[in-house]
Structure 1
């Protein structure tokens, strides 16, 4: 599936397991990009268990299920979170049939979404945790993949499994790791080295470290208040760390400018099996 070309960098935000802060990071990195002057569409791709709307305190009237079930214009579904270019595309919650999308349904979804993508510098896809086929297909589509991990052994094990399956089934070997909820730079580096060593030894590639985010009580407070941390407490340690990650992402977008211009928004890959 090829889609119209423009300046948009597509970024998937993934994790091997839930509870690592993936959706919150997607929201805050997106908000940071918007505040930096880069129009952004944040797409909730956890199609059966959507929660980005809760994090932002919005109650969308429509979602992607409406798009699949009708001829509704995708611009009617998008929610304008902030004027000037921070938009949100909500998913459905509690709709199990959306979790296991086949390739035809995915193609139809993105064909309908195609007109919405123009005009954004970034498309952020917050994808469900785990390794189900829809997660893998969405993760393989984007220009950039961000893998969110924490220092917990289960997070590292599950993230390794996610990268392994994406590599073996979709030929994807380019990943950028964000280590969340660390105490300091040392814990960030130790955690990443453990994951990178396993990938290098058993998968034949090494992921890239994008950076870490410190443990910060203000993150929990921002979730309770349903506001982006970057908006509520921009001077907090975690907010500063996410700002630094956003700067690195923008540098990446500049370095990939030719690739973005010459290729599609998203590419439908085919499983090797």
Structure 2
């Protein structure tokens, strides 16, 4: 069984790397709803808009971010936990300068890390001496401890949902556990694979009705992604659709979501629980917390 990532002596980041990035977790209750495709395209759209972006794959046992981007990692997070390399050694350069931290695929022990090991991974990011504006965290599907910890440690959570009963039910279950067990009070909802412009808002309303009734959580409809043959072709080419086919309907939608996400302010103070890049916030001093999205 791997041990938690050890905290080495604190690294004093350069001035360019001092500011804490905005960390956005992408999650879903059910698998197969396009969560990783969303993470990849959101990150690619951020880079294309001039954001220094890191894409972190935390689907620790069945990772595929590197596959979707056609990358061949030398090291993964499994090597970090085994002590074979440092976290910084895993960073790959993806398209247009996108930074990617790959996880391992087919490593059962990585899917069975302890809660302490999940927290250790979160803390390790404070030691990265890299200038980063935004970090996108691609989670595994479901409500495992790692998913909950990585979502709690992020500043915003995007839940991807499709208009099918199992996806809606599992999305509600994820939101409920994040809210009741981890204190997450705001969730961004992305409706995926919609057939037309009306399906996304209608799907969001279904989810919002039940959460409003039973939970103390605020949902925001960040946008919808249409069913798009060009998206399937981009996946086959191992490229983000926003890069492979910039004028495709899905590309236009992803750029709109990325634009709205970029308006979210980075937090200036720690929130008092496990959090990515918390040491950077402490080092940078205190100030007003990030505001709600418009």
Flag whether TM exceeds 0.5 (same fold): yes
Deviations 1:124-166 (A, max 9, x none): 1000000111111111110010000011111110000000011
Distance of 2:273 and 2:44 partners within structure 1: 25
- The Cα offsets for residues 213-268 of structure 1, whole Å up to 9 and x where unpaired, read as 1110111111111011001100000100011101100111xxx24xx22237x941
Structure 2: any 5+ residue segments left out of the alignment?
1-6, 276-294
More helix by share: 1
Matches within 5 A, 1:117-128: 118-128=130-140
Deviation at 1:117, TM superposition (A): 6.2
Task: For 1:7-22, list aligned pairs within 5 A.
Answer: 7-22=20-35
Q: Could you say what secondary structure the match of 1:262 adopts?
A: coil
1:192–1:209 contact (8 Å) kept in structure 2: yes
Q: 1:160 aligns with which of 145, 165, 172?
A: 172
Which has the higher mean CA deviation after the structures are superposed, 106-115 or 168-177? 106-115
Contact 1:38 1:121 in 2 (8 A): yes
Specify the SS of the correspondent of 2:138. strand
Using the TM superposition, name which of 200-209 and 177-186 deviates more: 200-209
Candidates 170, 176, 180, aligned match of 2:182: 170
Contact kept in structure 2, 1:56 and 1:227, CA below 8 Å:
yes
TM-score by length of 1: 0.90
Query: How far apart, CA to CA, are the structure 2 residues paired with 1:251 and 1:166?
Result: 23
CA RMSD of aligned residues (A): 2.0
Q: Any gaps of 5 or more consecutive residues in structure 1?
A: none
**CA 1:20–1:117: 2 relative to 1, 3 Å:** farther
The one-character-per-residue Cα deviations of 1:87-123 (angstroms, maximum 9, x if unpaired) are 1000011122222322321233234333326410011
CA contact (8 A) 1:63 1:89 kept: yes
Does the C-alpha gap of structure 1 residues 239 and 88 become closer, same or farther in structure 2, counting only changes over 3 Å? Answer: same
Query: CA separation in 2, counterparts of 1:82 and 1:116?
Result: 21
